[in-house]
Structure 1
Amino acid sequence: MNTADTLPDDDIDVVPQTRSWVLRPATLGIFLVVTSVVGFLASFALAVEKYEKLENPNAVLSCDLNPFFSCGSVMEYPESQLFGFPNQLLGIAAFIFPLLLGVLLLAGARIPGWVMVGLNVGLALGTTLVMFLFYISIYKIGVGCPWCMVVWTMTIPMFVSVTAHNALAGNFGAGIARNPIARVLAKENIAIFVLWLLVIAACVVVQFWNFFATLF
């Protein structure tokens, strides 16, 4: 089932020209490619520095900016290996699938609805993990990991935009696609993920205010 075939055009949106960007294959494809590449590179850089830290525990990593923002400090805690291996390896693997789908969308491929829902499930799990690690890093460990923050900044918008796509395209069912509240929230996906990221940024600033106060 193709994402655009689940509902008639007039049910998905009144005027095709005003459709949300998440329903345009090329736009969504570019977004998935860009966010996946950035997230993959951040995860890869973090993995490289993790192994550098294992070889030389005293090494100062490129992301060790100061006592408040330091990947190396976070790596010393068991939460950096939740499943028995470095968390960054999950990121390296996880960003490949949305990258592939983004490329297929740009190539004009017809992506079945169930595949997009599968991507949504994966991103939901990834976002849950990201929020858990955000809490652990900022509030328990008390140190921010710069590369991790890049991954957070890519994962959350990707999750919100794919959720919006599936809601508007009818992949969650015609009831959700026609629900006025669901449609408004889905169409305001950019505002939602920007607000989400701003809340995270505000939490970081408040928690590390002693550092940020020195910048003024």
Structure 2
Amino acid sequence: MNTAPAPAEETFDDDFATGTPIRSWVLRPTALGIFLIVGSVVGFLAAFALSVEKYWKLENPDVSLSCDLNPFFSCGSVMEYPQSQLFGFPNQLLGVAAFIFPLLLGVLLVAKARIPGWVMVGLNIGLALGVTLVMFLFYTSIYVIGVGCPWCMVVWAMTIPMFCAVTAHNALAGNFGSGIRDNAVVRVLARENIAISVVWLLIIAFCIVIQFWNFFSTLF
């Protein structure tokens, strides 16, 4: 019987300038896989809940939805605008479908399956499109419609960190090419993917607070 120990999980990437190892959680398959699973499940549940409430709204236009918190934050109000159906069907259906792929890859990573680099790049492209849509909907919801959608914000809060983490993984793993992998600026930014995600989300939160200051000022 073969008793040789299983190969250790890859946890480091060599610094191109100093040759010293760089600790990066996005290069750990298990850590990245768990992150993708958690983000995908939370995002999927938020998109699914929004889909269910969309159909409730269609059946009974006067119904008060669970995410109709006040005049400033109301999913039901946002659903009444054409921006909620950019492609001719409810946007939330995109979220329900889009979170399946990263969830599947997350499970495979945790199971220590070998994921080809091109598959991770494909995930990155999908998340990039998702982030582009998220930022468009953020601007439209907050600055054009003037009402925030709570469940949508949960989807935003999952999509952005997942995009940053997968981009960092692909950059450090060389899936974008050795030129990008060996770029000092790229490597520093990739290692700070969590900080970038936090700052990104804080900027969105700041914009929301400023735009809806009439509401938030009443909380103090």
Q: TM-score range by the shorter chain?
A: over 0.9
Of 207, 213, 218, the match for 1:214: 218
Residue 121 of structure 1 corresponds to which residue in structure 2? 125
- Is 1:110 matched up with 2:114? yes
Matched, 1:40 2:44: yes
SS of match in other structure, 2:14: helix
Could you say which residue in structure 2 is the equivalent of 1:180?
184
- Structure with bigger RCO (C-alpha 8 Å, 6+ apart): 1
TM-score, normalized by length of structure 1?
A: 0.94
- Structure showing greater Rg: 2
Aligned match of 1:97? 101
Counterpart amino acid of 1:197? Answer: L
Structure 2: how far apart are the matches of 1:178 and 1:193? 22
**How many angstroms apart in 2 are the aligned matches of 1:206 and 1:148?**
19
1:193 aligns with 2:191: no
Deviations along 1:86-111, one digit per CA (max 9) or x if unpaired, are: 00000000000000000000001010
Structure 2 partner of 1:83? 87
Higher helix share: 1
Deviation at 1:11, TM superposition (A): 5.2
Gaps of 5+ in 2: 1-8
CA distance change for structure 1 residues 9 and 202 in 2, over 3 Å: closer, same or farther?
Answer: closer
- Of 139, 146, 152 in structure 1, the residue corresponding to residue 150 of structure 2 is 146
Percent identity for Structure 1 against Structure 2 = 80
- Counterpart Cα distance in 2 of 1:214 and 1:57: 29
Kindly provide the amino acid, as one letter, of the partner of residue 43 in structure 1. Answer: A
> What SS is found at the alignment partner of 1:88?
helix
Unaligned runs of 5+ in 1: none
Q: Distance in 2 between matches of 1:119 and 1:14?
A: 29
Displacement of 1:10 in angstroms is 3.1
SS at match of 1:60: coil
Residue 19 of structure 1: CA displacement? 2.0
**Pick aligned residue for 2:137 from 133, 153, 162:** 133
State the alpha-carbon separation in 2 of the partners of residues 126 and 189 from structure 1.
Answer: 17
The one-letter code sitting in structure 2 at the alignment partner of 1:104 is L
What is the Cα deviation at residue 209 of structure 1? 0.2
SS of the aligned residue for 2:62 comes to coil
Cα distance in 2 between the residues matched to 1:10 and 1:191: 21
Deviations 1:96-151 (A, max 9, x none): 00000000000010100000000000000000000000000000000000000000
Q: Deviations over 1:42-65 (max 9, x none)?
A: 000000000000000000000000
What is the rounded CA distance, in whole Å, between the counterparts of 1:10 and 1:136 in structure 2?
Answer: 43
Q: Residue 110 of structure 1 aligns to a residue in which SS?
A: coil
Mapped partners of 1:150, 1:188: distance in 2: 22
In structure 2, distance between residues paired with 1:119 and 1:53:
33
Q: What does residue 31 of structure 2 align with?
A: 27
Using the alignment, how far apart are the partners of 1:49 and 1:145 within structure 2? Answer: 12
Report the equivalent of 2:172: 168
Following the alignment from structure 1 to structure 2, what is the Cα–Cα distance between the partners of residues 9 and 142? 45
